[in-house]
Amino acid sequence: MAVLQAGGGVRRYYNINGWLFVAPALGLIGVFMVYPILWSLWMSFQTGKGLTTKFGGFANIIRLWNDPVFIKALSNTTIFFVIQVPIMLFLALIVAAALNNPKLWGRSFFRTAIFLPCVTSLVAYSVLFKSMFAADGVVNGALQALHIISSPIPWLTDPFWAKVLIIIAITWRWTGYNMIFYLSAMQNIDKSIYEAARIDGISARGRFLYITIPMLKPVILFTMVTSTIGTLQLFDEVYNFTEGKGGPSNETLTLSLYIYNLTFKFMPSFGYAATVSYVIVVMVALLAFLQFYATRERD
C-alpha cells in the first residue's frame, strides 16, 4: 500500500514537472498559432468590408472562382513552385554529390561559397538583384558581351522574364541551403556500402543512383516539403522587385502578396483575404501529403 502511494506520488511529481516545462511554449502556441488559425477559418465565412461583416456561408469561395486576380495569383504561385523547386533541388543534389569527395581540392572553399547566399536577408538580396537585372544592368551587359543575347532582356517589365527573374533569384538564395542538407546526409552514409558495391563492379553512376539517392530519401522529402511551403508563401522577393504591385500587370502576383494587398492596401476585406489564405493552407496540406505518399517506404 505504501509502495503504491509512493508510486502515485512519483508519477504525479513527474507529471506536474512535465506540464510545467512545456506550459509556456504551449500557452504561446495556443494564443499566437492555434487561436489565429481557427479564427481565420471562421473569418473566411464572413463577408463585407472593414469592420462591418456578416456571415456569408460559401460566398467567399464562390467569389474565388470569379476573381481573375485570384486565379492569376494562384497560377503564378503554382508556376513558381512547379518549375523552381525541382530545378533547385536537382542542382543542390548535383553540387552536393560533387562536393562529397574527400579528395576534392578546395572543397571547403566551394562549400562555403555556394552556401553564402543563405546569410543574406530576402529584402537585401531582392534589392540587390533588382539593381543587377536592370535593363542596362550588369547581367544584361555580361550576356551581351558574351554574345548570348543581342538586345537587353526586359527582366523587370516583361511578363515572362519577370517570372524567370524570380525563379533565378529564389534558386540563387536557396540552392546552397538545400545542398548542405544533402551533403551532410551523404557524409553520414556508411562508406563500407560503397566499398562493397565497388567490389561488386557497380559503376560510380550506379552507386549514386542505387545507394546514395535511396539513402537520401528522407532528406529529399524534407527539402521538398520545406521548399514547397516556402515557395507557396513567396512574398518578400516579389514585393521588393515590384514595389508591392506584383507587376507587370499582376504577372508576378503571388497568393501571399494578394492577401497582403486585400488586407492592408485597400479597404480591408478580412473575410475574403482569410479565404485566400486558406487556399495556401489546403495546398500545403495536399502537397505535403502527396510528397509523403510518393516517397513512402514500399514493402
Partner 1 sequence: MLSDRTTALLSSIATYLLLGFVSFLSVFPFLWMAIGATNTSIDVINGKPTFGSALMTNITGFFTQVDVPLVFWNTAKIAIVSTILTLAISSLAGYGFEMFRSRVRERIYQFMLLTLFIPFAALMIPLFIIMGRAGLINTHIAVMLPVIASAFMIFYFRQSTKAFPSELRDAAKVDGLKEWQIFLFIYVPVMRSTYAAAFIIVFMLSWNNYLWPLIVLQSNDTKTITLVISSLASAYYPDYGVVLVGTVIATLPTLLVFFLMQKQFVQGMLGSVK
Residues numbered 121-140 forming contacts with partner 1, rule: CB under 8 A: 121-125, 127-132, 134, 136-140
Q: Tell the smallest beta-carbon distance from residue 80 to partner 1 (Å).
A: 14
Strands (E), 63-121: none
Closest CB to partner 1 among 82 and 116?
Answer: 116
Largest CA distance in the chain: 91
Q: Is 151 left (phi over 0), alpha (psi -120 to 50) or beta?
A: beta
Residues numbered 143-182 forming contacts with partner 1, rule: CB under 8 A: 172, 175-177, 180-181
Q: Which residues make beta-bridge pairs with 55?
A: 46
Contact 298, 235 (CB under 8 A): no
Those residues with Cβ within 8 angstroms of residue 198's Cβ, 6 or more apart along the chain or in another chain: 207
| Stretch touching partner 1 by CB under 8 A, among 2-10, 53-61, 108-116, 209-217 | 108-116
Closest CB to partner 1 among 79 and 98?
Answer: 98
Nearest to 281 by CA among 80, 72, 37: 37
Describe the chain by its helix, strand, coil percentages, rounded to 5.
75, 0, 25
Closest CB to partner 1 among 14 and 65?
Answer: 14
Of 200, 243, 297, 299, which one interacts with partner 1 (CB under 8 A)?
A: 243
Give long-range contacts, CB 8 A cutoff, 24+ apart: 58-64. 60/271, 60/272, 60/274, 60/275, 61/275, 63/272, 63/275, 64/275, 64/276, 64/279
Note whether 278 binds partner 1 by CB under 8 A. Answer: yes
Give long-range contacts, CB 8 A cutoff, 24+ apart: 10-15. none
Number of residues counted as binding partner 1 (CB under 8 A):
95
Of 73, 85, 114, 156, which one interacts with partner 1 (CB under 8 A)?
A: 114
Q: Which residues make beta-bridge pairs with 47?
A: 54
Residues numbered 62-91 forming contacts with partner 1, rule: CB under 8 A: 91
| Stretch touching partner 1 by CB under 8 A, among 68-76, 94-102, 209-217, 290-298 | 94-102
Q: Tell the smallest beta-carbon distance from residue 283 to partner 1 (Å).
A: 9
Residues numbered 196-235 forming contacts with partner 1, rule: CB under 8 A: 218-219, 222, 229, 232-233, 235
Q: Tell the smallest beta-carbon distance from residue 117 to partner 1 (Å).
A: 6
Contact 246, 257 (CB under 8 A): yes
Residues numbered 4-63 forming contacts with partner 1, rule: CB under 8 A: 14-15, 17-22, 24-29, 32-37, 39-40, 43
| Stretch touching partner 1 by CB under 8 A, among 62-70, 158-166, 192-200, 260-268 | 260-268
Contact 162, 243 (CB under 8 A): no
3-state secondary structure of 272: helix
Q: Tell the smallest beta-carbon distance from residue 241 to partner 1 (Å).
A: 10
